[in-house]
Structure 1
Amino acid sequence: MKYIKSLFVALLLSFSFSFILPITIGNQSASAQCNTNTSICTPGTAGPFTFVTPGPYVSSCLDFFGPNMGYIILHITTSGPLNMLINGNASTGFLDVAVFNIPNGQAPCTAIQNLSNEIGCNYASAASGCNQFGNSFPCSSSVPAPYVTAGQEIMIVVENWSGSSSSFTMQLGAGGAQTGSPNPAITPAGPFCISSGSTQLIAADMGGTWSGPGVSSSGMFNPATAGLGTHTINYSVGVAPCNATSSTTITVNSATVTPPAAQTICSGGSATLTASGAGTYTWSPSTGLSATTGATVTASPASTTTYTVTGNTAGCTSSGTVTVTVAPLTIGVSPNASICSGASTTLTATGATNYTWSPATGLSSTTGASVTANPTTTTTYTVTGTTGSCSATANVTVTVTPLNLTVSPNTSICSGASATLTASGATSYSWSPSTGLSASTGASVTASPTTTTTYTVTGTTGSCSATGTVTVTVTPLGLTVSPNTSICNGGSTTLTAGGATNYSWSPSTGLSSTTGASVTANPSTTTTYTVSGTSGSCTSSLPVTVTVTPVVVSVSPNTSICSGTSTTINASGAANYSWSPSTGLSSATGATVTANPTVTTTYTVTGSTGTCANTATMTVTVNPVPTVNATNNGPLCEGSTLQLQATSLPGASYSWSGPNGFSANTQNASTPATLNAAGTYTVNTSLNGCTSSATTNVVVNSGQIPVIAAAGPFCETAPNSILSASIAGGTWSGNGIINATTGEFSPLQAGAGVHSISYSVTGGCAIPGTATITVNPIPVVQISSPNTSGCVPFTASLVDASSPVSGSITWDFGDGTANSNQLNNVNHTFNSAGCYDVTVTSTSAVGCSTTTTFPSFICALPNAIAEFSVNDPIHGLMNPEFHTFNTSANASIYSWDFGDGDVSNAFNPSHIYSENAGNYVITLIANNAGNCPDTAQVTVTIQEELVYYVPNTFTPDGDEFNNVFSPVFTSGFDPYNYTLTIYNRWGETLFESNDTKFGWDGTYNGELCKSGIYTWTIRFKSSQSDKKITKTGHVQLLK
């Protein structure tokens, strides 16, 4: 349809010039108009609007030169796609529509002359009397809706190309961009300081024009440009009649602080500082200031300091500085001095002009740089120096050192002892003679003379000295003690000391007393005693050793005998021995004796050597001879079992012997009762080393014992079995026998275990036959799994926990796959979704088996199947919205990622991409309650729109304007696949170019062509595909 319409336009241009006239290039015809008073301020359907004569023609991607047009201005209040319907009052005819952005401050009729302002155009593809952007309305002539933002001003130009309609209406679709009146409300700003930087002013709806002192048309306010004071700022937004204005006031303040002049003060002095020019003041640093705020402060710094004062007026600040210089006065004075009592020293001061001294006590003068001090006690003098109005002080101490030497009093020491001698009242000391002294200098020395000695000490303080004496008298002491001695163990001895007045003995162990000249010592071991003798203050000590000689008697170790026997006992370690008690002994004396007690007895042996003796003991334990009896279970029938019994003696051992070489080592013994087994049997018993014996006589009579045929072992579930014996006609008994006559045995009734079965026959010496039958339990099948459900394919780990442990096993997984005979643990993979019965047959090591089915033990959960499509995988920049169609299966949870940072959890989300061409991957993760997710992806493409413009007139008249005809491509084409061809009305080729930058200058073979209509054809390829596009139209050459 577009190509038919293009041909129709070409025919109009060729044969109906009245439709495009009157037109002037560069100047608008008097009848042309651009109606800027038709504005839409409210949402909904607007109109009807009438068409007017066009002028000037718009600069559009469409061929706008129709007979009449309509102009509508919209102020956008809600951002979104401009879903718009232009609907003529006729149901047929072509309506072409272009949408232009109106830049801030530019007239709408000027904006539509600039192709770069065009944001959408619809060259009607159907003569349906309507035209739409987007797909919100049932109009067949549709293109993608451009995206507009709140605050944007746009102009819509409608061309009544076919003239079928006399008026039209406009309607905006729901969910997209909407129009309305702009809100000019200004956000309050300021006040500002004049030194503040530029600030962007804000209105509720931006995009309007600002005016007033210091403000740019875009709303940048500069306080310095506006100047001090309060200024009125105006703001206008929108295009009449959809426009609005508002105003606000902005105040610009300033603060200029004037600091005080610099000052100089003496050390310790102060200066008054006063600032002016602001409302409030802040001072820093705070060092030496009486306050940190206020116009006036007092400064008393210890050293030269520069202060900063900051003034503030209505939030605007400025600063200044002032320096307070401190002129210091430093007084020097003589160092501290020490003098002897009665001496004097000279004191000197420097650094000032005049000096005064205090206190006057001991001074030769109270003024002058130099004075003489002769105090009687230590005194601190203060000198005050002055130079002009500044003064300073310094101190000096004169220490008076009186020398009052004292020394320790005379003292007495014992020979070999020492005494401490001390002196005081001086600074240093020297002692003489040095004999017996620990040192010859120091305030304290230790004297240890061997004879009485008088010592002299000389004390010195500075140049002052004095002497004193002290006598140390030495008193000798001669102590004696008994010689060392020896005693027997348990004996005693007398120890005697002499040569002193008092005595003390140590240690006290074994002593009769610890004081006195004579004591008795009775130690148990060799001991050295020390005696200390004292006469007056003199003490001396001597040792004496008492050696203890022990007698160690050894005897045989404890022993045991049987009642009525004897043992030999030996003693050693002494010269003579005596034994007690004598009961059971062969002798009461001697180193060796024989003991034959009747009861357990402890013997004591006393050994002596000279006067020293000692004892030792040992015990003879008498064990009784065991008493034993022997019995049997006879008389016996031949073929039975002989049972031999002996008396039970705890701890005893037994040994049997009898006919046919019979022997046994147990308390009770047994053997088959054959005729040769008759006779006497002897048992020997041993207990605690003592033995005894007993006999029993066994009688065996001839007879027969039935033999039961071996049977079993059986499983608990085995069928009943008929037992048999060597002699028929007997009676059966025992656990599991359900028929005493036939010998029918039931393993199930008997239960698991070992059962004793008896079979009896009639007769005088008939003995029942016995046998045992073993019944084994059937397994109790148990299985477990750490995870019984999972996503397909699900590998389950199954564990056999049967009791008893399976000797062999068969696993049936219920999924039709082969069984497994894997013992203990088995892994199996379920490849289809569903819950499966697991059947296990367990066979024990002894061959008993059982089968157990575990219903729905394993569940393999179905996987989600992620699948979706989009309405069209390729969109243009003017319609970047994609709609998804979710066809996933087995899913209830959906996670979408659109590849641009945006996500969604909706079932069929729609997504609008930003205006950036490129490929985007839409990812869907579909999941279900079993957490078995699946992922699907679709790549969508946003292509650049094909935007181009072909002029309909050019004037190659040499005036440097509009001299060349060339299509203008903005985007969406391949510049390397392009051809422009110009034909005259007879179809001859006048010009051809393969470069969009090289157009037709109106010449052919070097000569300018005549004014008229020429046909053009452009052939090019889309940059987004290999599609070749051909367009044909007409251009008017005017000279």
Structure 2
Amino acid sequence: MKNIYTIILLLFISLFNNGFSQPQTVTFNYTGAAQTWTVPPCVYNISVSVKGAQGGGPGGLGATVLNPTIAVTPGQVLQINVGQCPTGPTGGWNGGGNGHAAVPVNYQSFGGGGASDIRVTPYALTNRIVVAGGGGGKNGCSPQYNALGGAGGCVTGMSGAGSPFVGIGGGGGTATAGGNGGPPWGGGQPGIAGTLGNGGNGGFYTTASGGGGGGGRYGGGGGGADNCCTGANGGGGGGGGSSLNPAGGTCTQGNNTGNGVVAITFTAGSVSITTSNTGPYCEGQTIQLNATTGASSYSWAGPNGFTSTLQNPIIPNCTAVNAGVYTLTYDAGGCISTSTTTVVVNVPVNPTFTQIAAICQNATVPNLSTISTNVPAIQGTWNPSLISSAVVGTQTYTFTPNAGICANATTMNIQILPNEQVTFNQISPFCIGDTPTALPATSTNNIAYTGTWSPATISTAVAGTATYVFTPTVGQCALANSMDIVTYALTTPNFNPMGQICEFESNVVIPTTALNTTPFINGPLITGSWNSPTVITAWAATTNYIFTPDPGQCASTYQMPITVDPLIIPALTQVPQLCQNDANPVLPLVTNNVPAITGTWNPPLIDTSIPGIFTYTFSSDAGQCGDTIDMTITIVPAVPPQFVADTLTGCNPLNVTLSTPPVLGAIYTWYWGGTQIGQGSTFSYQFDQSGYHDITLEYDLLGCIESTTYNDYIYMESYPLASFSSVPSSLTETTQAIQFMNSSVGGTTYTWDFDDSYTSTESDPNHMYVGVTENLLVTLTAYTPLGCSDEYTISIPVIADPIYYVANTFTPDEDEHNQTWQAIFTTGFDPFAFSLTVYDRWGEIIWETHNAAESWDGTYGPLGTKVPAGIYTWRMQYEPKENDDRKVVTGHLNLIR
């Protein structure tokens, strides 16, 4: 018995090891998108292998992080991002920096390889728990200057190689920062530095760009560009990305070729229970939920509040509310896990079919389709199973779906139509030669029927009755029918001849109704139209006019000759031009033609009391074919002219424009004091004599002469002569009064401009100048009463600076010459702001005064001690009169004894 227990225990241990402890590995390859993996039940630790992608070109190899142990939670969803090895300038997926395209393509630089990583929610770059860095991309260059990208590193990525002239490529990423961008050569672009997760882009030059940096924990920098020339020495390769290696793992730089790869190894902790159902179901059926064996307890939960502790529960008479996800929570060896199954409950579908069109009685019938037009199609049977066309009316056919299909029964109504006699609207009779209408293509029945006619078209070539037969198109519920159509012969219309018509006579209408009718219309007279509705009277001739009857009267065309007599132009003697109020002449009532034409005038009389241009119309009496003629008679107005001048007063000489409203055809002549000065309705003239002047305007309108004189119309004055003088003629001080004497001739008013912003209208002003420092231009303007003016200007010089004299030597030796010394001012200073000081060679004051009139006699102190002969220094201070601008002057004095 003990041996039996031992065998059972070993068997249990073996089963437990086989069911609960088998390591499993899940491998993720590059897809170009994020992938996920859900941690299985009872799995709390995983071991991973993560390899970064190689850079393009080929470039630097990717790093490998191997066998770190990572704590996880059952049901946790990890995001897997597998890096791409690029094949061109675009950086590899998951962080590879870009290279640059080129023409030709062999000069392109390549993108950096993408990093491979595993992330936890919310799956941002900062949520990565393991990272394997990608390698940098190869540079763009001539074949002899290849520079590979740096390898994906561990703590730090490897720097990319440089061409012989660039020197070094992009820097590798570190644990805390992206790699530096590689330096350029010459004026080329530098590479872009890497950032968190992303390699930097390579610098650009057409044929020598830098490679992109590899992705990683921090991406490598892009390589710099070489801008030398086409086929240049090449830019630098991109730097490799750094890696994130969790505790317990190992990291190998530059270890992987091609795309990256991620592998997750875990040991399952329990038996997995699989759930299922026997659906899909149709409403009303029983739902069967199933779970595999191996658990010690089962607990179901689902839609509409469903719960059960059975392993395989059922739900009878299901409806749409029972559809959804059912979750089984189970205990397998102490590990609580869940599994789900989705139940689909279908609402019964209504089968649909293409409606069968109406069928003619006793016609061949189609088969009823046993497959519906639904998607997916529904199969079933019909009752009755065949269509019958023997009886007219609506027949109902019922479709029943096959067993096991979630669909309702449906019906189709099919109409059996009776065979009907076709009907048409009768076509009206035609006349011989008419263009017939087309025979109708469809009948006038409620259901329009189509078919063919025999004959196919109507003929109007022969008078009489013709029969046309209509045969319906096969498949229509219609019977054949015929129509009789009548064609009539033509009747010639009759008209009375036209009366006398004169050339150019207007609106001579030809009657459009004949004197006779036709048997066809039986009563109304024949109507129609002529090729011209009125007689053409533009010339004298006999012309044939053609009458065309209106349609439907069966009348023929008719030709009528019409004669137009020539029109005679009345010959009249022109009444000459008349002046207003001349004697009224008589208009002739008989023309000068042979034979003469008589007529009347409108208006009948000439009235010369009203000026203007008038039209008189002569109308010939009837029966003479005489034309109407107009005579224009001009009556010249007898109106004295009016005129204006643009200027009536002014200064001599004076330009004046004289004008009068022009009358068409009039001749205008201007006179000044009886002397002709010009012609025209507008005339400009320069008058050169002072005083008052008479102006006369004479105009001749077609021989009718009128004139107007304006006495003393224009007045002119001569210009004055301005002149003046001043006392004094110059300013010796900056503030000083000047008297001005006016000597102008012919002026009555005056304006002075003193050139210091002041003016005056006095005749002889006295003006005080204050603070003047520069010469002045004083202007006098003299005016006459009409404003004729003259200007006169003089210049007044200004001598305003202080004038002083200080001698440099004096001899106080008691003779009659040079016994004293002083500063001598002649003008322009303030005596109350004056001081003068004399110093000896040691700077001691020897003599001082504040009075400009005081002089020094060469003594010192109150006792009058004579100073020795020698050189002394003097200092003078003063202020100008006009301001407080203090002046200081120094000099040397030679005292001789």
Q: Could you state the TM-score of these two structures normalised by the residue count of structure 1?
A: 0.30
Structure having the higher strand fraction is: 1
Higher RCO, 1 or 2 (CA under 8 Å, sep at least 6)?
A: 2
Q: Could you state the TM-score of these two structures normalised by the residue count of structure 2?
A: 0.33
